[in-house]
Structure formats: structure tokens, C-alpha cells
């Protein structure tokens, strides 16, 4: 097990500086344009693919970094560049984590490469869990998967919503109920291969922030997929369902469902995204405060501004440490006995929301205009307290973990 450290090694620093250069030279100059267009920035994704940032190899290297700092370091730098474009670049990763968390070695080797495509023909993937009536309440999920034993096929029906890359993805990972009576314990994840009949894009959402990232509904109408597309395989599913039924009869402990396994693995990464956006806004505010003069002196000379910047920096550093701790724990197989993953996501996302608001305030009227990037950063930061578990849900997870009680 790798020792928990609070400093990047030389190799990690080189990777960080490489990603930072791409974020500064490619992403930031394009950020305002793609935010206005509200379209997937395919040219930027392709540039990321050409240099190796958008690739299976790159994410595998960071994911398997024994220190656990590879992924949060990469996420922070990309989201420092721009949250909307960064989410278009890393959105495929959530689907990939879904396969890594629940799939067999053969499924991992078959489907994850197809999620990324090649530098000359880039592809994206989508993880489809939320539904119009089932967001935080995953037990209310209505999408059904029924097994057709005669053909060894699964038939999926339902509507997913808030899916990053939904409908434009090459590969969709869909969470569906196979045993509705078991609630969230009866869920399973499925791969929907490219060009599968019955899958279509529904409404594309026009969002407050992260507008360069495609978010849409995914409609599933009698979607037939091979039995081999059930992540983990049917034998493993049948065993899990049998255990869940026995526990339900005896009132035993709950088991984790497929969607929660994915979110638990990805929450520290979301925290790192929030840290990147918060850091970007803080740096803009700091530079502005040092150069903007009022009453004959820089506004940073005023305690009201200087103390805000001090609090902003302190919160960002604290958020990063929580993210790094949770990431190290996850990679080294240490259980989240105090919901450390949710802690990191909660604190970092709330920090991003607060820090970007403070940055707008420090810039005053300029901060409220699109001429300055803090306006966009403030809009982008709002998503962190919402997606992959709202702040309220994170607090519920933490409280339940600490108390062992079914707090509602």
C-alpha cells in the first residue's frame, strides 16, 4: 500500500505541467466560444486525443497511480482550464468507471477502447442512471431490463435524463432494474453497443453552466442487446439477487447497487473538478485585486477584499486535501468508514460555489459581465453541488455512515 503523501512527485509534476499547458493554451482560448455555442467542442477533444490526454492509456495510467493522486491532479488542471470543455473531455470517464466497477476483464477490454475511438475518429461514451422521477432516489428507477432466455438477449425500456453525452455517445452504459421488487438492490448495468436499434436522444438540455458539455435524455424503446452486455455477467447477477432476496427476508444488511458503486468511485474526482474551477476563479480574483485601483490604491489593500481572498485560498487547499485523502484511500482499498468520498465531494463542491461567487463580488460590475471569465466559472460551479449526488445527499450519506442509522 502506497504511503499517503501531500506532495506530487517529479513525474506527477511533469504530467501536471503538461496538462496545465494544454488547458492554458488550447482550452481557455476556446472556452467562451463553446460556452456561447452550447455544443460539444469536437475540435478540442480531438486535440486532446492527438496529444494523448483523451485516451484510454492516459486515464489508465492516472487511475492506477498507486498514490491515488493521478486522477485528481488531472481533473483539477483540466477544470482549471474550463469546466464545460473539460467535462466534454472527461465525461466518457464516468461510463468507463461504470464498466471498471462492474464489468468482467473481457468487457473492460472490449468496450472501454470503443468509448474513446482514435485521434482521427474520436468517440465519447455516456453513463445513464438518472431518470425524470429517479435522481437522488435511485430506488425509484423505472427503466426495466427483461431477459429473453430463448435469444440470450436483454430487452431495455425506459427514459434516462441528465446523461452527459447522452444520444451522441458511441457506447451507452445504462442502469436498469431487473428485479423491481428488490428496489435499488435489483439494479444492474448494461452496455448498449453503437447503433443499437431503439436507442435515441430525447430532449437536449440548455443549461445554466457547463454549456460546452452535451446533456440530454436517452430514450430506450425495446432495445435488444446480447446477454454478454450485462456488466459482470448473468451468473454473478443471479447470485447477487439471490443474496439480496435472502437479506430482504431476514432483514439483513443492505447491498450496494450498480449505480452507487460507480458514484462512490467517482466522487473524489468530482471534488477535484470543483477544486480546479475554484482555483481558477481565485486566481482571476487575486490578479484583479492586485491591479484594480480604487481611491488611489489597489483594492487588495482593503481588508474586506484581502480577507476574502485569504478565506478562498484556505478553503481551496482544504478541499484539495480532502480529495487527495479520499483518492488515496480508494486506490489503496481502504474503506470509506466515515464516507470520506462524500466528504471530499461535499466540501469541494460547496467551496467552488462559494469561491466563484466571491470572485464575482471582488470584480464587481466586471465580474457580472461575460468579458471576464469569473462569470462563466460561477455558472459552471453550480453543477458541482447537484450532479453525482447533491450536497444534501452527500450529507445524508455521511450522517448514515457515521451513525449507522437510516436517517431521512
Angstrom CA distances, 16 to 8, 11, 62, 252, 276, stand at 9, 9, 11, 46, 12
- If one counts every other C-beta atom within 10 angstroms of the C-beta of residue 400, the result is 15
64 CB burial (10 A radius; 0-12, 13-18, 19+):
exposed
User: Predicted confidence band at 15 (pLDDT cuts at 50, 70, 90)?
Assistant: very high
Contact 29, 38 (CB under 8 A): no
179 CB burial (10 A radius; 0-12, 13-18, 19+):
middle
Phi, psi of 133 (to 5 degrees): -115, 15
Closest CA to 345 of 402, 393, 300: 393
What pLDDT sits at residue 408? Answer: 83
Closest CA to 104 of 237, 196, 269: 237
What pLDDT sits at residue 2? Answer: 75
Q: Mean pLDDT over residues 219-226, rounded?
A: 98
Closest CA to 290 of 301, 279, 277: 301
What digits encode the pLDDT tens for the residues 158-195? Answer: 999 999 999 999 999 999 999 999 988 999 999 999 99
Q: Mean pLDDT over residues 309-326, rounded?
A: 98
**Residue 117 reports pLDDT greater than 80:** yes
- Using the Cα atoms of residue 67, residue 347, residue 136 and residue 200 in order, give the sign of their dihedral: negative
- If one counts every other C-beta atom within 10 angstroms of the C-beta of residue 43, the result is 12
* CA geometry: angle 100, 104, 109, nearest 5 deg: 70
What pLDDT sits at residue 248? Answer: 76
What pLDDT sits at residue 255? Answer: 46
- Residues 6 or more apart whose CB falls under 8 angstroms from that of 220 comprise 143, 156, 157, 158, 159, 160, 174, 192, 198, 199
What DSSP letter does each residue of 128-169 carry, written as one string? E--BTTBSS-GGG---EEEEETTTTEEEEEEEEEEEETTTT-
Q: Mean pLDDT over residues 276-293, rounded?
A: 97
Mean pLDDT of the chain, nearest integer = 93
388 is an active site residue: yes
What pLDDT sits at residue 195? Answer: 96
What digits encode the pLDDT tens for the residues 233-279? Answer: 999 999 999 998 888 777 654 545 555 555 666 799 999 999 999 99
Closest CA to 356 of 392, 308, 320: 308
User: Predicted confidence band at 60 (pLDDT cuts at 50, 70, 90)?
Assistant: confident
Q: Which is the catalytic residue, given 76, 283, 388, 392?
A: 388
What pLDDT sits at residue 257? Answer: 52
**Cα 347 to Cα 351: distance, rounded to the nearest angstrom:** 6
What pLDDT sits at residue 97? Answer: 86
User: Predicted confidence band at 407 (pLDDT cuts at 50, 70, 90)?
Assistant: confident
Q: List the single range of 86-100, 198-212, 221-235, 304-318 with lowest mean pLDDT.
A: 86-100
Closest CA to 99 of 198, 243, 227, 233: 233
**Residue 134 reports pLDDT greater than 80:** no
Amino acid at each position: 500500500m502506497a504511503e499517503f503523501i501531500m506532495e506530487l512527485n517529479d513525474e506527477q509534476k511533469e504530467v501536471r505541467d503538461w496538462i496545465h499547458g494544454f488547458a492554458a493554451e488550447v482550452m481557455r482560448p476556446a472556452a467562451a466560444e463553446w460556452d456561447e455555442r452550447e455544443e460539444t467542442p469536437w475540435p478540442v477533444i480531438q486535440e486532446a486525443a492527438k496529444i494523448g490526454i483523451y485516451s484510454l492509456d492516459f486515464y489508465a495510467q492516472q487511475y492506477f497511480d498507486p498514490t491515488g493522486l493521478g486522477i485528481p491532479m488531472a481533473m483539477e488542471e483540466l477544470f482549471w482550464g474550463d469546466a464545460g470543455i473539460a467535462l466534454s473531455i472527461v465525461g466518457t470517464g464516468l461510463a468507463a468507471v461504470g464498466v471498471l466497477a462492474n464489468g468482467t476483464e473481457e468487457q473492460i477490454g472490449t468496450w472501454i477502447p470503443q468509448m474513446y475511438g482514435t485521434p482521427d475518429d474520436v468517440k465519447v461514451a455516456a453513463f445513464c442512471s438518472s431518470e425524470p422521477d429517479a435522481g437522488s432516489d435511485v430506488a425509484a428507477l423505472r427503466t426495466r431490463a427483461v431477459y429473453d432466455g430463448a435469444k440470450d438477449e436483454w430487452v431495455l425500456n425506459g427514459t434516462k435524463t441528465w446523461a452527459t453525452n447522452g444520444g451522441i455517445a458511441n457506447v451507452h452504459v445504462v442502469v436498469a432494474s431487473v428485479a423491481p421488487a428488490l428496489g435499488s438492490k435489483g439494479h444492474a448495468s448494461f452496455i448498449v453497443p453503437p447503433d443499437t436499434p431503439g436507442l435515441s436522444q430525447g430532449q437536449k438540455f440548455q443549461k445554466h453552466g457547463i454549456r460546452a458539455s452535451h446533456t440530454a435524455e436517452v430514450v430506450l424503446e425495446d432495445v435488444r442487446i446480447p446477454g454478454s452486455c450485462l456488466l459482470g455477467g448473468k451468473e454473478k447477477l443471479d447470485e447477487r439477487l439471490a443474496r439480496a432476496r435472502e437479506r430482504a427476508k431476514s432483514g439483513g444488511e443492505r447491498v450496494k447497487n450498480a449505480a452507487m458503486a460507480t458514484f462512490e468511485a467517482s466522487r473524489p474526482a468530482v471534488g477535484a473538478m470543483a477544486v480546479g474551477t475554484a482555483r481558477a476563479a481565485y486566481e482571476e480574483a487575486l490578479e484583479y485585486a492586485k491591479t484594480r485601483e480604487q481611491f488611489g490604491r489597489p483594492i487588495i489593500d482593503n481588508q474586506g477584499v484581502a480577507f476574502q481572498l485569504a478565506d478562498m485560498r484556505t478553503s481551496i487547499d482544504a478541499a484539495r486535501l480532502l480529495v487527495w485523502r479520499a483518492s488515496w484511500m480508494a486506490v489503496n482499498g481502504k474503506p470509506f468508514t466515515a464516507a470520506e468520498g462524500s466528504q471530499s465531494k461535499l466540501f469541494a463542491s460547496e467551496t467552488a460555489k462559494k469561491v466563484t461567487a466571491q470572485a464575482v463580488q471582488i470584480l464587481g460590475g466586471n465580474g457580472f459581465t461575460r468579458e471576464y471569465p469569473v462569470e462563466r466559472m460561477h455558472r459552471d460551479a453550480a453543477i458541482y453541488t447537484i450532479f453525482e449526488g447533491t450536497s444534501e445527499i452527500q450529507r445524508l450519506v455521511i450522517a448514515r455512515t457515521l451513525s449507522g442509522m437510516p436517517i431521512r
